[in-house]
Amino acid sequence: MPKVMKKSRQVILVTGGEGNLGSQISFGQKLGKDKLDVLDPKSISQAFDYYKPSVLIHCAVLIDMGICESYPERAFELNVIGTFNVAKACREKGVKMVYISSCSVFKGDKSTPYSESDTPEPISVHGQTKRIGEIITSTLNPNSLIVRTGWLFGNRHTSKGFVNYCIKRLKSHQDIEAGEDRLGSPTYIRDFVEEVKKLIDEDASGIFHVVNTGCISYFELAQNIKRMKSFSAEVRPVKVVLVQGNKVKRGKMEALTSDKITLRPWQEALEEYIKTL
Ligand SMILES: NC(=O)c1ccc[n+]([C@@H]2O[C@H](COP(=O)([O-])OP(=O)(O)OC[C@H]3O[C@@H](n4cnc5c(N)ncnc54)[C@H](OP(=O)(O)O)[C@@H]3O)[C@@H](O)[C@H]2O)c1
């Protein structure tokens, strides 16, 4: 059946609107925590009364996996209670909720990328909070859209993310050690945002994996950046999964694939981002 595009003008709010992803969303009202604090139900209801949104994209998060592991109370507060507050407000006001989720909801012991039909089994505190956020979102708002992604790159206004880290180090002639034993799907924020907008316009609901196509290690990703920019510093492979003292529980496989949509290969997207620098 052809997908029906919604004609009416949507008013879209974005939580965490000053973050790595939120700040790059090219549409809607992007609100930082000073304008919409997800831990303060009054702040959420004031923003809803003022903007009267029809859609809310929830990007506010505690994302640092090390901090989540060391301070689980902070991770559960922001990622679970914050998501509950947002989901409850969306339910009460009939606002469509779009929850941005993560590859960290999976255990990471599979040999191939995870699809929407795989069962989540998070092992890190971060992954647990994101999975609970998914359950809260879909239970309170059955028409919600849950979009999982991972290894985002493409915000040149921040130093966050592995791609920006590699570029900064290699550019200043510093060698890099990068994990060869963890695999992911590097995903260009621009492609991700475009796809999320399409899904919103189609009023899609349920779980979608939105990543650029491919599955590579941090080492291969760093090597590709070095090659694309002709940097001379060295990229060396290391093992990251079983490093002693590494307190963040992360599996080997963080790559996603989708049974529903296909984005272009990560190499093409990375080339395009690198040309913008
Ligand atoms: N980056 C990735 O590779 C990646 C991968 C998979 C999924 N995701 C998902 O993408 C979404 C956005 O992540 P991101 O990379 O943009 O993270 P980010 O850069 O850390 O952005 C999160 C934003 O949330 C804000 N925030 C903190 N506490 C808040 C509160 N109480 N109320 C409202 N906002 C608050 C933060 O502000 P402060 O900085 O001032 O605290 C920050 O601007 C998340 O749902 C994340 O799980 C990202």
What is the rounded distance in angstroms from the CA atom of residue 103 to the CA atom of residue 149?
6
Question: How many angstroms is it from 62 CA to the middle of ligand 1?
Answer: 6
Specify the ligand 1 atom closest to the Cα of 64.
20
What local confidence, expressed as pLDDT, does residue 158 receive? 93
Cite the DSSP H helix spans in 64-217: 65-70, 72-76, 82-93, 125-140, 162-171, 189-201
CB 125, CB 74: distance < 8 Å: no
pTM of the model: 0.96
Helix or strand holding residue 183 (H, E): strand 183-184
Does ligand 1 come within 6 angstroms of the Cβ of 78?
yes
Specify the ligand 1 atom closest to the Cα of 133.
45
Question: How many angstroms is it from 32 CA to the middle of ligand 1?
Answer: 10
For strands 235-238 and 145-149, give the pairing.
unpaired
Reported as a single tens digit per residue, the pLDDT across 45-89 is: 999 999 999 999 999 999 999 999 999 999 999 999 999 999 999
The interaxial angle of helices 189-201 and 266-275, nearest 10 deg, is 110
Stretch 89-107: mean pLDDT, rounded?
A: 98
Does ligand 1 come within 6 angstroms of the Cβ of 17?
no
The pLDDT confidence band at residue 42, using thresholds 50, 70 and 90, is very high
Question: How many angstroms is it from 193 CA to the middle of ligand 1?
Answer: 15
Burial track 61-86 (b if 16+ CB lie within 10 A, e otherwise) = bbbebeebbeeeeebbebbbebbbbb
What local confidence, expressed as pLDDT, does residue 240 receive? 85
Reported as a single tens digit per residue, the pLDDT across 191-244 is: 999 999 999 999 999 999 999 999 999 999 999 999 999 999 999 999 987 655
What local confidence, expressed as pLDDT, does residue 54 receive? 98
Domains of the chain are: 12-151+187-209 (3.40.50.720), 153-184+214-275 (3.90.25.10)
The pLDDT confidence band at residue 248, using thresholds 50, 70 and 90, is confident
